[in-house]
Amino acid sequence: MAANKKIRVTLVKSFHGRLQSHKDTVRGLGLRRIRHSVELDDTPEIRGMIDTINYMVRVED
């Protein structure tokens, strides 16, 4: 079985003053503060969440 591809997501902008749904998405990805990074599986669901808040995060393979 092939290993899942991972991506690193880093919060680069503050989520204060943003839409509540965008704040929830940031928390759903596990991001807590600016410059906090998490490593996640590269799935369509995660990519959709990233697309929602693409102006606040940086994505690395």
Q: Does the predicted model carry a pTM greater than 0.85?
A: yes
Asked if residue 2 has pLDDT above 60, the reply is no
10 Å Cβ neighbour count for 37?
Answer: 13
- Tell me the residue length of the chain: 61
Backbone angles phi, psi at 37, to 5 degrees: -115, 145
Asked if residue 1 has pLDDT above 50, the reply is no
Instruction: Decide if 15 is inside a domain.
Output: yes
Q: What is the number of domains present in the chain? A: 1
Instruction: Decide if 1 is inside a domain.
Output: no
**How many angstroms separate the CA atoms of 42 and 45, rounded?**
8
Q: What percent of the chain has pLDDT over 70?
A: 95
Domain assignment of residue 49, given as a range:
6-60
Q: Specify whether the CB–CB gap between 59 and 9 falls below 8 A.
A: yes
* Token representation of residue 13: 């902008």
CATH number of the structural domain spanning residue 52: 3.30.1390.20
Asked if residue 27 has pLDDT above 60, the reply is yes
Instruction: Decide if 42 is inside a domain.
Output: yes
